[in-house]
Structure 1
Amino acid sequence: MDIFFLDLSKVNEIYLESHLVTEEKKEYISKINPRQRKIQVFYSDVFIKYLMLKKYNLGISEIKIFQDPFGKPYLYQGQYQFNISHSGKYLICGISKNPVGIDIEQMKSENVIRSKDIFWESEYQDIFLTIEKEREIRFFKYWTLKESYLKWLGTGLSESLKSIEFLNIDSRFIKYRLDKKFNESTPSFYSIIFDSDYVLSICGDFMNEKKIRIYEVDKFELNSFFQ
């Protein structure tokens, strides 16, 4: 599995004339303010196309992106599956030959939610009964793990975050318990602190893929592609 990330704080340009942007998307992006949001939407749209063309050597005619009934994007008749997430200054994309779910969140104390509608009792206690300096990290680890699972499943937040209960988020091999209706699925999970104040979590078939590789996409490489 390959993970690619782009630091959007280093990017100032958008290329609406690019052949990778549909006319419908051009019109939508042109109306967006502020500019930073415009940049975020533009690169979220073209990042996977850029990666498929430059990193996986697909032809432009092979890159047809559709959305399933839950809004999850997928490549039509493609050999690769992907998932995208963004938070703060980072845009991140996971690519695999198997289903993948990925979530990145910037850790902000004001976003920590005390709710037993989101967490199982064991998870809630693990977050809120821990020492204060660890609380934020644990909250966002649980949150991103749950989000990555729902994105892997393909349902997004149409399913409850309580459809999965995590049992040991600090272990290399993260254990979990699923809602009965999903108990035939057996994904693996990976979660790390990313750039000191972000949490990145991934859900996928790591047993078959053996390794997770993380790459930064340089803004100069990306910009030269559009010029």
Structure 2
Amino acid sequence: MNFNQIIHWQEIHPVWRKFEVTPLSEELHIIRIGISKNIKRILSHTELLSKEDSKKSERIVREEDKHIFLASTIFKKILCGLYLGCEPQSVELEVNEFHKPKIRKRGDIHFNTSHSGDWLVFAFSCQPCGIDVERINYGFDFSSVLDMSFHPDEIGFIQNSSQPPINFFRIWTIKESILKALGTGLTDNLKELNTLEELSKLPTKNDALHIKSFLIENTYWCSVCYIDPFSKIKYFEF
């Protein structure tokens, strides 16, 4: 069944500041981490890896891919530990049936993560949230993706724009952030979701979705989706 879904989308230019732990009450925290910049810190916390994670890391051949995996796995534990007020070793994580990560037995703290290239991003909130980052690939042939996953209005907007690749990746991160916030894996409904309209159709609750999109280094699009319209947003970096 389709419900009308209100979408409030806004492009912003955030000011980043050094990460510090502050209460999440009525706040949304967006965190960006430069992997190469923090690689020494990442490699110094490999004790946070489970046996399964260690084995998986050993199987990854490309150093860049290994660093991405280690950064994501280790910073999940570090950040969740900071927000929970506990040691990162004691953080217990799990995924729902659609593989959205969550903290076990803690419904009061929600988080989501994404990575692309050298950037790893997180969103933390007291309400469900989703985040996606994508490097703008000017050589990527996205024509087949448009037909499968984009609303006709979005396709027209991208194809008629002066910079189709930039607008493709912008809309793609918006769609991904929405699906990740909902955590229901509704990939079959992407064509029904028109991010250019304030009122779209998506089978979910009637809560309004709020989306912020921004560029990182003018090379990556990042979008975050959240439910609480009263959230104060803070932007942190490592």
Aligned residue number for residue 35 of structure 1? 63
Whether the 8 Å contact between 2:151 and 2:192 is mirrored in structure 1 is no
Change over 3 Å in CA distance of 1:111–1:176 after alignment to 2: farther
CA distance in 1, matches of 2:120, 2:175: 19
- 2:66 is aligned with 1:45: no
Task: Give per-residue Cα distances to partners, 1:22-51, cap 9 Å, x unaligned.
Answer: 111111101211111111101111112111
Larger RCO: Structure 1 or Structure 2 (Cα < 8 Å, ≥ 6 residues apart)? 2
Please state how far the C-alpha of 1:130 moved relative to its aligned partner. Answer: 1.6
Task: Give per-residue Cα distances to partners, 1:144-175, cap 9 Å, x unaligned.
Answer: 0000011111134644422421125xxxxxx2
Whether the 8 Å contact between 2:48 and 2:89 is mirrored in structure 1 is no
CA distance in 2, matches of 1:208, 1:92: 22
- 2:160 is aligned with 1:129: yes
TM-score by length of 2: 0.79
Aligned residue number for residue 212 of structure 2? 190
Bigger proportion of residues as strand: 2
Query: Which of 197, 201, 226 is equivalent to 1:204?
Result: 226
Please state how far the C-alpha of 1:4 moved relative to its aligned partner. Answer: 1.1
State, as a whole percentage, how many aligned pairs show the same letter: 27
Aligned residue number for residue 144 of structure 1? 173
CA distance in 1, matches of 2:141, 2:192: 20
Query: Which of 161, 167, 173 is equivalent to 2:196?
Result: 167
Change over 3 Å in CA distance of 1:47–1:163 after alignment to 2: farther
Letter in 2 for 1:138: N
- 2:236 is aligned with 1:215: yes
Letter in 1 for 2:68: Q
* Secondary structure at the counterpart of residue 97 of structure 2: coil
RMSD: 2.1
Whether the 8 Å contact between 1:164 and 1:176 is mirrored in structure 2 is no
Please state how far the C-alpha of 1:58 moved relative to its aligned partner. Answer: 3.1
CA distance in 2, matches of 1:96, 1:62: 20
* Secondary structure at the counterpart of residue 94 of structure 2: strand
* Secondary structure at the counterpart of residue 203 of structure 1: strand
Task: Give per-residue Cα distances to partners, 1:75-98, cap 9 Å, x unaligned.
Answer: 012221100100011001111110
Size of the alignment, in residue pairs?
207
CA distance in 2, matches of 1:157, 1:9: 33
Structure 1 stretches of 5 or more lacking a match? 169-174, 218-227
